[in-house]
Amino acid sequence: MKKLIVGNWKMNQTLPLAKAFFSELKTVELEHEAWIAPQALHVSTCLHMSPDFIKIGAQNISNEDHGAFTGENSSFSLKELGGKFVIVGHSERRHLYAETSSLCAKKIRKALSHGLNVIYCVGETLDEREQNKTSQVIETQLKEGLHDLGPYASELLIIAYEPVWAIGTGKVATPDQAQEVHAGIRKIVGDETRILYGGSVKPENVVELLNEKDIDGALVGGASLKAADFIALCQAQL
Ligand code: PGA
């Protein structure tokens, strides 16, 4: 079955490196769907450099369309450029920039209203996992972030489960640990909504994760920066 691999480049990659990355991608036919979120300043250039089969999106977005919001980027402008998706509520946004699930709810509604796909990230910290609070934390993040959306199973909505303790640490959740949380998320969002796993996904562990029933793809940081690794992820044989 076709899965979705989303590369989150964070504040990495130079334009020459991005160009080389996309040139390499143009030479292959990918098994799975592939999306890339470069830093906002690179979105426009990446839209021109990337092959047509790659969707380009943003790592964060404003909850407003226009106006006096210095430094913000709007869904309206992303859509106007040709961007296709936004990531909302990444743990780095939550922990470094104090973004709350209720702010995420506003961003999600705004992006969906412009027809953009939204990847809404949820995940527990190590402390929360050790206190057996994982499902409670995820449920609250989902309830607050998806509050007032109407039917959760909007085709445009995607959930990413990213345990905070697994992001950029090399500590990946075991397939069982990930599947258990994904099954809980599935009960809340339904069968139509894709659920990605994120947190130290790499070519060596992607197959066992993607083989889990409720894991529809991966949100990948570090291993999405090099074309060879990203291609390997997108070619995973399941
Ligand atoms: P990582 O990042 O793959 O480097 O752990 C994942 C993410 O932050 O989305």
> Quick one: pLDDT at residue 2?
93
> Phi/psi at 128 (nearest 5 deg)?
-65, -40
Is-contact 46 23, C-beta < 8 A?
Answer: no
> Quick one: pLDDT at residue 101?
96
Name every protein residue with a CB atom under 6 angstroms from any ligand 1 atom. Answer: 8, 162, 167-168, 198-201, 219-223
pTM more than 0.95: yes
- Helices 134-145 + 175-189 axis angle, to 10: 40
- Position 152 pLDDT exceeds 80: no
Could you report the per-residue pLDDT of 43-56, keeping only the tens digit for each? 999 999 999 999 99
- Position 155 pLDDT exceeds 90: no
- Which of 92, 159, 161, 220 has the most ligand 1 atoms within 8 A of CB, as the residue to mutate? 220
> Quick one: pLDDT at residue 150?
66
Q: Token pair for residue 102? A: 């209720």
> Quick one: pLDDT at residue 153?
56
- Position 228 pLDDT exceeds 60: yes
> Phi/psi at 146 (nearest 5 deg)?
-105, 10
At which residue do the structure tokens 């899965």 appear? 3
Atom of ligand 1 nearest to the CA of 166: 5
- CA–CA distances in Å: residue 220 to residues 8, 37, 162, 164, 226: 6, 10, 10, 13, 11
Confidence class for position 32, pLDDT limits 50, 70, 90: very high
- Position 147 pLDDT exceeds 90: no
Instruction: Name every residue whose Cβ is closer than 8 Å to that of residue 153 and which is 6 or more positions away in sequence.
Output: 189, 190, 191, 192, 193
Active site residue ranges: 90, 162
Q: What is the mean pLDDT of residues 205-216?
A: 97
Type of residue found at 113:
S
Which residues, listed in sequence order, are joined to residue 220 by a DSSP beta bridge?
7
> Quick one: pLDDT at residue 12?
98
Could you report the per-residue pLDDT of 64-95, keeping only the tens digit for each? 999 999 999 999 999 999 999 999 999 999 99
Q: What is the mean pLDDT of residues 169-193?
A: 93
Instruction: Name every residue whose Cβ is closer than 8 Å to that of residue 96 and which is 6 or more positions away in sequence.
Output: none
Q: Token pair for residue 178? A: 């990930």
Atom of ligand 1 nearest to the CA of 167: 5
Tell me, in angstroms, the distance from the centre of ligand 1 to residue 21's CA: 18
How far is residue 119's CA from residue 40's CA, in Å, rounded to a whole number?
A: 16
Over pLDDT 90: what percentage of the chain? 92
Helix (H, G, I), strand (E, B) or coil at 55: strand
Chain mean pLDDT for the chain:
95
Tell me, in angstroms, the distance from the centre of ligand 1 to residue 199's CA: 5
Confidence class for position 103, pLDDT limits 50, 70, 90: very high
DSSP annotation of 125: -
Query: Alpha-carbon torsion 133, 165, 103, 182, what sign?
Result: negative
Instruction: Give CA torsion, residues 209, 30, 192, 116, to 10 deg.
Output: 120
Q: Whose CA is nearest to atom 3 of ligand 1?
A: 221
Confidence class for position 151, pLDDT limits 50, 70, 90: low
